[in-house]
Amino acid sequence: MNIIRTLAVAKKETRQIIRDSRSLYLALGIPVMLMILFGFALSLDVDNIPFAIWDQNKSPESRDFLDRMTSSGYFRCVKQTENYRQMISDLDRNVISVGIIIPFDFSEQIKKRGSTQVQAIVDGSDSTRANLAIVYLETIATTFESDFKLQALTRQAVQGRVTPPIAPRIRIVYNPELKSRNNIIPGLIPVIMMIIAALLTSLTIVRERETGTMEQLMSTPLKPNELVVGKLVPYFAVGYIDLLMVYLMGQYVFKVPFRGTLLIMFFVSSIFLIGAMSIGFLVSVIASNQFFATQLALLGTVLPTFLLSGFVFPVSNMPLALQYFTYIIPARHYITILRAIYLKGVGWGAIVFPTLALVIFAMVLTPLVARKLGKIEL
């Protein structure tokens, strides 16, 4: 590969990028826009669930149970009702997501038997929110019952205080606040980089063919690999600027902790960018026009990255065949690496396999693009 010819192609492509200012603005503006939209709008935290309560008992015990729900931070009492029909009406109108009915013998039963029942009507139209609401309710109810029994045993004890046989001490590591944003932002970076890399490079070759300059390039002593590398260099620089922008936004706008090493992150990002841009080049070689190239890049990169990388939907919840298929999605490995670097601060030893997968992907795809380019029909 001749370095002079490669740099000449890179210089030509850089001028083309600067000349097409609208595409450059989009390349630099889309990452900021996506970070703002996803960072602020997308949250997997389920809290402040609105609920209504029908307290038929109106005892200190029932008020204690209500206080536990509201003080947990997971539930927000929006109204107290006096009949079942009004509660169902509020559920239908999305005023509340949960309805709690405390029976008239609540305090009597818990004093007599140490346990009682509370009816909860949960809106199941949002299954994720409903499942979490049920888990929160069961936890609050179990804790309330256990504390009541413990207090009763303590009052009956002759000396000292009765302690439960098992007292769990839970320690949450890596994300102790359990903020979904700390998990979303590192996963969002690969999605943004794939969108930028694939969409920008998907128009390079097909644009040359439509404008008639591809014939001139192919008539020169340029080799296919020199043309690919020369065109990749300026877009690689743009991709690195985007990566730096989203990293700074994650640090200073969304306050996501970064516990790893910047050198490892940027090195792995370089490998991912090469593979992502090679996908765009391959699309540009195959496509017959710019419109088809854009649509193919969207379908072939953005959708698989968003749906099959583990960014939003856990890979372990997918069908087994689809789980194996996700191994060919480079964003899956990149997301695994970034989340490990961001939240766990791991070194090379913990990310060997996903890094190797990215290297193999880039080493296979880049020569394939050069081979396809050498067989292109003008």
Domain of 70?
A: 49-156
Q: What are phi and psi of 99, to 5 degrees?
A: -120, 130
Same-domain pairing of 272 and 186: yes
CA distance 158 to 180: 47
Same-domain pairing of 195 and 309: yes
- What stretch of H or E contains 55? strand 49-55
pLDDT in tens, 107-159: 888 888 777 788 999 998 888 788 888 989 988 888 888 777 777 666 665 45
Share of the chain above pLDDT 90, in %: 27
pLDDT confidence of residue 356: 95
Show the tokens assigned to 279. Answer: 């996908």
Closest CA to 296 of 308, 304, 305, 287: 287
| Position with higher pLDDT, 86 vs 203 | 86
Residue 292 inside a domain? The answer is yes
Asked whether 35 and 190 are in contact (CB, 8 A), the reply is no
pLDDT for residue 272 is more than 90: yes
- What stretch of H or E contains 113? helix 106-113
Angle, CA of 353, 187 and 361, to the nearest 5°: 40
Residue 15 inside a domain? The answer is no
Residue 320 inside a domain? The answer is yes
pLDDT in tens, 230-251: 888 888 898 889 999 999 999 9
DSSP letter for each residue of 118-162: -EEEE--SSHHHHHHHHHHHHHHHHHHHHHHHHHHHHHH-SSS--
Closest CA to 256 of 320, 179, 154: 179
Same-domain pairing of 260 and 294: yes
Same-domain pairing of 214 and 127: no
Closest CA to 186 of 347, 302, 344, 338: 338
Same-domain pairing of 35 and 69: no
The predicted model gives 287-316 an average pLDDT of 84
Q: What residues form DSSP beta bridges with 101?
A: 54, 119
Which residues have CB under 8 Å from 234's CB, separation 6+?
10, 13, 14, 17
Asked whether 249 and 333 are in contact (CB, 8 A), the reply is no
pLDDT confidence of residue 271: 94
CA distance 100 to 86: 12
The predicted model gives 301-310 an average pLDDT of 86
Model pTM score? 0.79
CA distance 25 to 75: 43
Same-domain pairing of 86 and 27: no
Same-domain pairing of 39 and 53: no
Asked whether 340 and 350 are in contact (CB, 8 A), the reply is yes
Closest CA to 281 of 372, 192, 342: 372
CA distance 300 to 287: 12
pLDDT confidence of residue 378: 47
CATH number at residue 139: 3.40.1710.10
CA distance 155 to 53: 30
pLDDT in tens, 96-111: 999 999 999 888 888 8
Same-domain pairing of 270 and 354: yes
pLDDT confidence of residue 375: 64
CA distance 68 to 62: 10
Give the total residue count for the chain: 378
Residue 3 inside a domain? The answer is no
Same-domain pairing of 253 and 122: no
Asked whether 378 and 211 are in contact (CB, 8 A), the reply is no
Same-domain pairing of 37 and 73: no
Amino acid at 123: D
The region of weakest confidence among 36-40, 82-86, 160-164, 324-328 is 160-164
Q: In Å, how far are 69, 75, 179 from 43, measured between CA atoms?
A: 22, 17, 9
Show the tokens assigned to 272. Answer: 């991912």
Same-domain pairing of 228 and 358: yes
